[in-house]
Amino acid sequence: MAAIGIQHVDLAVGDVERSLSFYLAVLGPLGLTERHRLTTYRGTEEVVYLEFGTGQSALGLRPADDGEYRYHEVGVEHLAFQVERRDEVDEAYGRCRATGAGIQSPPERHYVEDEDYYAFFAFDPDGIRIEVFSWQRNDRAPSETGVDRTSKKG
């Protein structure tokens, strides 16, 4: 039997409410909502689950025990959120800037020239890199285009 997909990812964050405010400010207008709060398996804290309308995957925010996230060390490299249109990327970028988040790169084309992969990269309050992107794929396979999809900016 094959796996269906990733149902949720939990992030251990320095301040749950600060992270919750950030993610809802940037992605709330695109449908991200707080779904529920649950006591964790340890019974010592609460995890907040955020979902988009479909409810097929969730992002959990839970308090970290201690420490600091370090970009490009062992752990999550970045989280990518897909939207339908380029203007939604631009709008999310504007909201992200309004939160005061660190921006790695403004909205621009990434990956390959024959496809419209448009994205921005920023850092959440704990320094975890996020990406918001729109990808209008063509119908040709990589072997037909001769394009190396491993050469990504960001």
State residue 132's pLDDT score.
Answer: 97
| Sequence spans of domains, the chain | 8-138
Confidence band (pLDDT; 50, 70, 90) for 113?
Answer: low
Contact 115, 102 (CB under 8 A): no
* H or E, element range at 33: strand 33-39
Summarize pLDDT for 17-52 with one digit per residue, the tens.
Answer: 999 999 999 999 999 999 999 999 999 999 999 998
CATH class assigned to 8-138: alpha beta
Give the Cα separation of 17 and 20 in Å (integer): 5
Work out the pLDDT band at 114, boundaries 50, 70, 90.
Answer: low
What mean pLDDT comes out for the span 124-145? Answer: 76
The span from the CA of 10 to the CA of 48, in Å, is 9
Q: How confident is the model at residue 138 (pLDDT cuts 50, 70, 90)?
A: low
